[in-house]
Structure 1
């Protein structure tokens, strides 16, 4: 396979095999699409991505990480339609990442109770989460179906179901976070019911009208959390159920160990500056225990992802440390159908086009991760300046 060949993804045909991964944009004031959000995704479409992923589209108001975040409802449809039209005008497809933040939701910001498998404390919100009832689980599952139907109506080509990062479904999968004694706790089969149910609800709601992906944690990156052995089994069940067209492989816990996914520098001071007291002081004093630094290397999730490629026939999306053409070619050679890029494209939205035209192009991303705290003010690379001057410098 060549990464720049056209590729089938469920009912879609994509112009290449490179997906702009979901990165919360922080551009949805009032939980609605803004002109800035449209411009953000249009730039990635114009820059060569086969498909750009809108993140994050909560399926319920309490499922947002903070109140200025999209949630799927009728009021959002006009803006979502403008966004999908803009991406399509650039020749790319567009996906809506659907999910429920669960215990990661900031209840102080959303002004609604955050839901978790088991009641726990969220230090960011300085609030307790509420134990989800069976009725809550059924409501959230049904909300995934409703959100998927709205995505179709809004003109999206795909949806990506968020089953990672200890959001709602992922928290149920985690033995550390899920200490329930009912039919949603204990055994892996019980803990997987929320994830499998959400995927099935979406498939039943939209059929084959759009492509359906899911983002699944391979490893939570915390002691006692979900690890490869159990995640592999969940992936096998998802494949068996036929609810997905592809699986994107991720890692880490937004609640307990966010940098496990990102690798590179840990911007503790920058994160602390975005919060009010006492959270700011707490992060300055002890943030290094939560926002930990992990060494960066290209394709840093590949070793774990190989376990899934060996076990599944389902198309897989390789994520994590994809910034060079050689890494893309390696992923294709190892049998991954797609690759997903995020931080490198924040630095250079047109990097994909330049990698196609000049395979030796080197990304300008230095993996400082200072883009991460900008999610509160509009996600961007803090090093990006005049794009034309930077391109000239690289070519020289």
Structure 2
């Protein structure tokens, strides 16, 4: 609070304003002082030498008493951090770690090597990282995901609404600590179940309760891969179903790089390098069970309707395979159907897009500044075809025609 010794000679109106602001700072979690901490990571266990990219890890406290500690990885663009876009990446699930985005999807690393007792998987550089053209914050959200944790009950049950609020609180505090990125073009991205969350966060930034708080953000649009729009109850069984129907091999079922990540992220040297708070979590799990999550949203479609009316850019990409091998979690036909239901005219009709002379997939653009893209031969997330997904992203983010 303001000391009487500092207020004796202030104008009454100024004093009243400062007192009101002081009360607001204490009452509103979005404005409260943040106990964040971050570190520069120059090397990682499993990688030889210094990292050839800029990696920062850290925690941001959210909640009324900052009882929720959200962990993030921040990778600066390889190009120009002062002007290149900044992206907040929310991994789906819900409750799947953002290490999935960093190491399997759009980020600068991946894993290789045999699992041998006493050794770590080898960390490799992904030549198709989206960070060639943008800086990306990979956030472990909701709390209890990845390395994010709560200082109170380990059995805390998060949900859709809390995830939205924690996203907003995180962004406010992260930008407070990184003001040099305020003017960069800003996008929110994610895949799978984060398709339920990203449009709401975007809309809250633009016109919700917190619009005045985020007026400084240079918001440009959002990016979604195979997004959920209406949740599906049978998602837990689809990979197992694919395996039993011989659509994927036993070897593929037992890897997806997930086992390598498991051994890497649970290594003490790795946790020390990433500056994970000691004792904050037990076992790192890529995707945690959903018994501690409240599915509160029934549809994200109304939020797409609202955002479309504002004309912000959006990229919706969907992966599919020929010969009947489809993404069974969110088929591209379902995604295309709700986009058409927005009822905007087509400005660039259904056509193939190419990588050299090969068809990479198909695309269609609409008058609401939304681009729909399919990636041939892909799966549910970009990890299946990193090069193709990277090409789609690069062309779109710099404004090139697909």
TM-score tier, shorter chain, comes to 0.3 to 0.5
The TM-score with structure 2 as length reference comes to 0.34
* Structure with the larger strand share: 2
Which one has the largest radius of gyration? 2
